[in-house]
Structure 1
Amino acid sequence: MLRRLLQAIPLLILTSILMFLLIHAIPGGPDAIYDNPNLDAAGRAALRASFGLNDPLPIQYFKWASNMLHGNFGNSLYTGQPVSSVLAQRFPATVELFLSAFILSLLLTAILGTLSAAYQGKAVDYTITTLAYFGISMPIFLLGLVMQNVFASSLNWLPPSGTATLGYTFSPFNALLDHLMHLLMPMVVLAVTFTAGWSRYLRTSMIDVIRQDYMRTGRAKGVPPARLLLRHALRNAVIPLITIVAIDFGAIAGGAAITESVFAWPGMGQLFIDSLNRRDYPVLLTALLLSAIFVIIFNLLADVLYSVMDPRIRYS
């Protein structure tokens, strides 16, 4: 783990450089902050100097990176608040949506992938495969809009957006229930999108494991089918899936951003899109860097989980 962490340091530095250069490559770049017709030339010059935009690009990067290492992420160009405060307000909502959707997706993947492999070539397998292809082909934003139209507008079962019903005073229990009702649709939309693909990977891996000699030996010895599938087959079949899940972390984050926008969920994804529209570059850079850090952490966790699921795996 220590070796993997040390390897992540140059990767993170390179990623931060590329992100910094991409922000400056956007048409207008950070210079857009002083593109105000009400500012005179002196005001523009003072604003450029205050943001350090007169320095050469390498100097700007080293100043930004140095401030980041000291916990100074700058101030939002839109609200004037420290970026750390802006992110702290949004981060819990994203963690809640991400973890709930991630756990639901893994549970559905394990159930559907195992059933599809166990009943290969039968009606159950064909039904799950059809649903999986539907989930793979359905864009996140379209699925979200369809669910809003069906469950919020037509049936009026669930609230269409937000995190709480405004204008009502609830008891603690009813407030929690109301919040969960708001969470349900964005959680399901995000989970279904990734369950569809992951269940296909698990099905293929399960079929390969089921055909192994030790599985035939277990059946011959009278091991119950459920125990054989869940304890022996699933544990070995899930190892390739760990790689896919770790690689898909960036896609999950992108899906969360779209989902948060559709359902007005006040998290990091919606903040990122709003900051992009407002050209709030300090917030954008910090959000991108946090995403890169979490991608690296997820890949490190994948390495650890390999050895947990299969003790034969060792890293040199």
Structure 2
Amino acid sequence: MGRYIIRRLLQAIPLLFLLSIAMFLLIHAMPGGPDEVLNNPNLDNAGQQALRAEFGLDQPLYIQYFKWLGNSLVGNFGFSFSTHQRVSEILAQRLPATLQLFGVALVVALGLAILLGVLSAVRQNTSVDYILTVISYFGIALPAFILGLFLQDIFAVQLHLLPVSGTTTLGVDFDPFNAFYDHFLHLILPTLTLSLLFVASWSRYMRSSTIEVLKQDYMRTARAKGASPVAMLFRHALRNAVIPLITVVAIEFGSIAGGATITERIYAWPGMGSLFFYSLEVRDYPVLLAMLVLSGTFVIFFNLVADVLYGIMDPRIRYS
């Protein structure tokens, strides 16, 4: 396993290199790219040249790329066009909020998907299965921004049960426990919005996989030996049925990140998603470039994690 992980990490290096080239060229090829953003009509030619030199845009594109790459490898992604802060400092401020929302939503989505998928498979062709199927199709067809607005209107505006947006209630001095509880209330709606988007489709994968596993010979053998249904389900069926779900989650990691971006925008969650929209609006290209490359890195990393989980969930899988 250790050799396999090292080999995969080494394979990821050229992939990340090509990804960084593609993202760098994409940013510079966009209409209104970095060169045009710094063309300030209020400056004379000398002032514009000085500004371009400050951000390194007065050099050939390939030199700009290799300088950016060398600095990025040590955590220096340059300076923001809009705030003149270090991009690494901006990302460090926003990343914890996104990791919190993403992590909680992923755990909730996986838990619900496995629970509902197994329940639907065990109760196949019953009213429970039909109800869960209809709800799943409804969830698959519902866009993220529509679901978020619905939840906001129902639970925040109409019922006044949960906060509308943000991470804390402003203007209120809480003790540590109440501050934690207030933050927890603010986290509920964004978590539901993000997790429910994927529970619908993941539960269908889990249902199909569980039904297939329940038909295997080793399940019939366990049943013939008198194993209880609960033991059969959790000791034999679940570990094998969850493997296809791991593949789906790894493949859809980019979609999860996209859903998090929209969710943060809806609920004014101060994370990477809100930062991405703001940077896009003000054409803050150093921030956008750093975020795109980091997103690609996370996608590659999660695919590696999925491969490792295969071996953990199914001991029959061996990596040579």
Task: Sort the TM-score into its range (normalised by shorter chain).
Answer: over 0.9
Query: What residue identity is the alignment partner of 1:62?
Result: F
2:238 is the alignment partner of 1:237: no
2:13 is the alignment partner of 1:12: no
Query: What residue identity is the alignment partner of 2:137?
Result: Y
Q: Which runs of 4+ in 1 moved over 6 A?
A: none
Query: What residue identity is the alignment partner of 1:19?
Result: M
Q: Which residue of 2 aligns with 1:107?
A: 111
- Counterparts of 1:21 and 1:314, CA distance in 2: 39
- Counterparts of 1:110 and 1:231, CA distance in 2: 15
2:147 is the alignment partner of 1:143: yes
- Counterparts of 1:216 and 1:71, CA distance in 2: 55
* Alignment size in residue pairs: 316
Query: What residue identity is the alignment partner of 1:36?
Result: N
Q: Which residue of 1 aligns with 2:283?
A: 279
- 1:31-75 per-residue CA deviation (whole Å, 9 max, x = no partner) reads 132232322222112111222212111111101101111221111
- Counterparts of 2:224 and 2:105, CA distance in 1: 39
Q: Which residue of 2 aligns with 1:203?
A: 207
- 1:246-280 per-residue CA deviation (whole Å, 9 max, x = no partner) reads 11111111110000000000001111111111111
Q: 1:219: how far off? A: 1.7
Q: Which residue of 2 aligns with 1:163?
A: 167
Q: 1:99: how far off? A: 0.4
- Counterparts of 1:32 and 1:103, CA distance in 2: 43
Q: Which residue of 1 aligns with 2:85?
A: 81
What TM-score comes out, normalization by structure 1 length? 0.98
Query: What residue identity is the alignment partner of 2:31?
Result: P
Query: What residue identity is the alignment partner of 1:246?
Result: A
Q: Which residue of 2 aligns with 1:66?
A: 70
Query: What residue identity is the alignment partner of 1:61?
Result: Y
Partner SS state of residue 58, structure 2: coil
- Counterparts of 1:289 and 1:59, CA distance in 2: 18
Q: Which runs of 5+ in 2 are unaligned?
A: none
Partner SS state of residue 83, structure 2: coil
Partner SS state of residue 90, structure 1: helix
Query: What residue identity is the alignment partner of 1:216?
Result: R
Q: 1:19: how far off? A: 0.3
- 1:63-89 per-residue CA deviation (whole Å, 9 max, x = no partner) reads 110111122111111111111110111
2:29 is the alignment partner of 1:31: no
- Counterparts of 2:43 and 2:234, CA distance in 1: 67
Q: Which residue of 2 aligns with 1:98?
A: 102
2:128 is the alignment partner of 1:124: yes
Q: Which residue of 2 aligns with 1:48?
A: 52
Q: How does 1:152-191 map to 2 (within 5 A)?
A: 152-191=156-195
Q: Which residue of 2 aligns with 1:293?
A: 297
- Counterparts of 1:191 and 1:75, CA distance in 2: 34
User: Kindly, what percent of the aligned residue pairs are identical?
Assistant: 63
- Counterparts of 1:67 and 1:98, CA distance in 2: 28
What TM-score comes out, normalization by structure 2 length? 0.97
Q: 1:220: how far off? A: 2.1
- Counterparts of 2:319 and 2:280, CA distance in 1: 40
- Counterparts of 2:174 and 2:71, CA distance in 1: 43
Query: Please, which of 244, 250, 262 is the counterpart of residue 266 of structure 2?
Result: 262
Query: What residue identity is the alignment partner of 2:27?
Result: I
- 1:163-210 per-residue CA deviation (whole Å, 9 max, x = no partner) reads 000011111111111000000000011000011111111111111101
Q: 1:221: how far off? A: 2.0
Query: What residue identity is the alignment partner of 1:215?
Result: M
Q: Which runs of 5+ in 1 are unaligned?
A: none
Q: Which residue of 2 aligns with 1:213?
A: 217
